[in-house]
Amino acid sequence: MQDSRDSTSAPLADLAASLPPSLKIVLLPEQSVPDTQVLVITLARAHKRNALDDTTVLGLAAVFEALPSTVRAVVLEGEGEHFSAGLDLSELSERDIAAGIAHSRLWHRIFREHPVRPGACHCRIEGRCHWWRRLELACAAHLRVAETSAYYALPEGQRGIFVGGGGSVRLPRLIGVSRMTT
């Protein structure tokens, strides 16, 4: 799960080995500041346009929980042409109300708590970035860098799906309520 750029330390090497195939991590070599490193997390589901599933979200949580103190910034990117197509619709299942709320709260907690550590989390966005969960993850980052190919979509209403990852709260704070309602 590591690539040739990898200079992953022993603890992160163990973590990388335990991650699902949908995530790759690479610890970039130290540059000008000693004991300061950048971790690159790649969503590695290009065959599904990096759609997000529970396994990947829990893997992201594991990465953020295991970050060593020398990691000062995290870059989150998507493999292939798209940052993410959003929620993997093949993961949807019938749930009762309590299970649906619990599932939504899990993702919301992960997106709320983990990208704020250790200091800066940046999303590199290109291609598709749907609201379903992935734009919510981008909204949770400290900085979003969008390439000219990036576009955003909010398709939940067309499918009757609740926005459960916290984006309905974060996006208006980032772009303003007036832009959300027009």
**What's the whole-number mean pLDDT along residues 50-62?**
90
Cα–Cα distance for residue pair 164/153, rounded to 1 Å: 16
Cα–Cα distance for residue pair 84/61, rounded to 1 Å: 17
Comparing 175 with 128, which gets the higher pLDDT?
175
21, two tokens: 């195939």
- For residue 152, is pLDDT > 50? yes
Cα–Cα distance for residue pair 80/51, rounded to 1 Å: 12
Among the residue ranges 80-89, 95-104, 120-129, the one predicted with the least confidence is 120-129
Q: What is the reported pTM?
A: 0.74
User: In Å, what is the CA distance from 33 to each residue of 9, 30, 43, 70, 143?
Assistant: 17, 7, 27, 10, 21
pLDDT value, residue 44? 96
One of 77, 126, 136, 147 is an active-site residue; which one? 136
- For residue 47, is pLDDT > 60? yes
Whether 136 is catalytic: yes
Average pLDDT, the chain: 76
Whether 126 is catalytic: no
**Sheet of 120-125, strand order:** 23-27, 37-43, 71-78, 120-125, 143-146
| Alpha helices (H) in 21-96, listed in sequence order | 54-65
Token pair 């398709």: residue:
155
Among the residue ranges 36-40, 64-68, 89-93, 156-160, the one predicted with the least confidence is 156-160
DSSP codes, 94-126 = ---HHHHHHHHHHHHHHHHHSTTSSSEEEEEE-
**What's the whole-number mean pLDDT along residues 84-94?**
75
**What's the whole-number mean pLDDT along residues 85-106?**
78
- For residue 130, is pLDDT > 60? no
- For residue 175, is pLDDT > 60? yes
